[in-house]
Amino acid sequence: MATPLVGTAIITGGDGNLGSEIAVAIARKQPLIHILVLVRDLSSLSVRQVSQKVRMVGPRSFEIARVDLNSFSSVITFAEHTIRRVRDRDIPPVAVLVNCAATYSHILDPKTVDGYDPVYQTNCLSPFLLTISLLESFRASKRTGTVGAHAINVGCSNMSHGRLDFFQAGWEAGRKEDIELDDKEALQRYGSSKLLLSATMYALRRSLVSSGNIPINISTFDPGSISSKANRPHKSTSSSPERPNFLNPLHRFRQKRSINAVTVSANAIADTAFRPMSMRALEIERYHIVGKEYEASSVVNVLRDQKQMNNMLNMALVHTRIGTGTPTNSSAATSPSMRSNETMVNARIRAETRRNSSATTSPSMRPDERRVK
């Protein structure tokens, strides 16, 4: 009889340079994991390539699904379908979610169908929505006493150029769509989306841990500057014309690093995603930079400001329509409607995680400058 699968790993941007290598690394290291790669265009050459590469590793439980992060309904449809499949035991519970997909654009793009800047929606709002929408499908940890599931957000040193209020500050106001942005502004926009992703997901993590019984660890992994060992030829899209390697960081953050082979970063992410972690270890918020662990608030400073973290969480909940209310024009402000929604939102998170409830502690979240390892 075949050994049963022990979990599912979902990778967004699974046909991208890094995402495809993460899929291959997980296939090599975790033969009992069902690999579910998410892509935007099922018919693309890069999808065929990642599929071939994973299958060459050996017989694996592997599939590819379509999700467009520019559309909340696409994200929710996928998440609901996945939850149903986990309930029906069609696939094992989700052990790992890697939010790897991202976009960079130096064009003032039209808004998405949901009314947001596509860079903000793809890089921040949709990964947040995907993670919350999948909560019920995450692997519980009742029996093992270890954290059942990991959500890893692929970060980027360019977040040092970001601002928390960038997408609230009316940066596009009065300007025509499709105009070209200068490098500085494009970088600030991208960096802001990455900063917000990271901070908002740590805020979600705190909320899950403080509401108790949530066996999922959420962290950011900055892969460093990675080489384009192209899984696919560079695609020139309307939002990234004539600029190859568009996700390469232009500036280094915190420390000088050389360019890593993409496989090095992919292997490090695969190792981190499956490293067993005791429930007690949830006390520390971790930020990974190319395989080294740091206490997250020493990298993402806003983590020291709990009030602002709450505001950001509420803002993301409202923007992704999980919470109701009208988004405000300042990330620092909390509208009365958002405040009144807080209870409802927390109830929603609790409801999403009901099935996962198991014994965890409710750790304190004291910021600490030290490197964790």
Ligand X SMILES: NC(=O)c1ccc[n+]([C@@H]2O[C@H](COP(=O)([O-])OP(=O)(O)OC[C@H]3O[C@@H](n4cnc5c(N)ncnc54)[C@H](OP(=O)(O)O)[C@@H]3O)[C@@H](O)[C@H]2O)c1
Could you list the residues that contact ligand X (CB under 6 A)?
Answer: 13, 15-19, 40-41, 67-70, 100-103, 122, 154, 156, 223, 225-226, 235, 247-249
**Closest to ligand X by CB, 39 or 279:** 39
**Closest to ligand X by CB, 243 or 350:** 243
Return the CA Rg of the chain. 19
> To the nearest whole angstrom, how small is the minimum distance from the Cβ of residue 148 to ligand X?
24
> To the nearest whole angstrom, how small is the minimum distance from the Cβ of residue 173 to ligand X?
24
Residue the block writes with tokens 């520390």: 284
Q: CA–CA separation, 36 vs 9, rounded Å?
A: 6
**Closest to ligand X by CB, 77 or 248:** 248
Residue the block writes with tokens 């998440």: 79
What string of DSSP letters covers 329-340? Answer: S-TT---HHHHH
Count the residues in the chain: 373
CB 26 within 8 A of CB 38: no
> To the nearest whole angstrom, how small is the minimum distance from the Cβ of residue 344 to ligand X?
29
> To the nearest whole angstrom, how small is the minimum distance from the Cβ of residue 348 to ligand X?
24
Q: CA–CA separation, 158 vs 303, rounded Å?
A: 18
Q: CA–CA separation, 138 vs 96, rounded Å?
A: 8
> To the nearest whole angstrom, how small is the minimum distance from the Cβ of residue 115 to ligand X?
15
CB 313 within 8 A of CB 204: yes
**Closest to ligand X by CB, 75 or 91:** 75
**Closest to ligand X by CB, 154 or 264:** 154
| List of residues 6+ apart from 121 with CB closer than 8 A | 69, 70, 112, 114
**Closest to ligand X by CB, 244 or 276:** 244
**Closest to ligand X by CB, 127 or 327:** 127
Token pair of 266 as six digits: 């992919």
Token pair of 108 as six digits: 């003032």
> To the nearest whole angstrom, how small is the minimum distance from the Cβ of residue 17 to ligand X?
3
Q: CA–CA separation, 315 vs 312, rounded Å?
A: 5
CB 283 within 8 A of CB 290: no
**Closest to ligand X by CB, 16 or 215:** 16
Q: CA–CA separation, 335 vs 161, rounded Å?
A: 27
Nearest residue by C-beta to ligand X?
16
**Closest to ligand X by CB, 64 or 164:** 64
State the amino acid at position 88 in one-letter form: D
Residue 138 has a CB neighbour count (10 Å cut-off) of: 29
State the amino acid at position 137 in one-letter form: S
> To the nearest whole angstrom, how small is the minimum distance from the Cβ of residue 275 to ligand X?
20
- What is the number of alpha carbons within 13 Å of residue 313 lying toward its C-beta? 24
> To the nearest whole angstrom, how small is the minimum distance from the Cβ of residue 14 to ligand X?
7
**Closest to ligand X by CB, 10 or 100:** 100
Residue the block writes with tokens 């590793």: 57
Burial 121-134 (b: 16+ CB within 10 A, else e): bbbbbbbbbbbbbb
> To the nearest whole angstrom, how small is the minimum distance from the Cβ of residue 5 to ligand X?
25
> To the nearest whole angstrom, how small is the minimum distance from the Cβ of residue 77 to ligand X?
13
Q: CA–CA separation, 51 vs 175, rounded Å?
A: 42
